[in-house]
Structure 1
């Protein structure tokens, strides 16, 4: 993705300015192979990008990453 690193750098700087540097982690792994432990996220945000991997695939692959009280959205029609 062209320009990805500059986007990541801007978001990291923004988090630091807002004193969120210790609470926010910005990562850019492959969406289909996320290297994070089970139940390690309270929130995950992906808009149109989720469709590049496949909505159903992402729902199955990401479910394990979310804390028990968090749910993934269903497909909007």
Structure 2
């Protein structure tokens, strides 16, 4: 949106828009990092919970363990020859 205004307004308008944009960036920078970190962790937990419901998580882990055991057996057999 700002790019559109920059092309179609006069110089005074562009300066004021740049000032507003710069002010918004400064305002964003002053937010506490602790708040941002907490929000990020909370969002990541929600995303992970949506990706893997409890019953699917358990079955997925069981399958992965079986695959790892098969790979170990195959590697051991290959090392013998």
The question of a shared fold, defined as TM-score above 0.5 by the shorter chain, is answered with no
Normalising by the residue count of structure 1, what TM-score does the alignment of the two structures yield? 0.24
User: Normalized per residue, which structure has more helix?
Assistant: 2
Normalising by the residue count of structure 2, what TM-score does the alignment of the two structures yield? 0.23
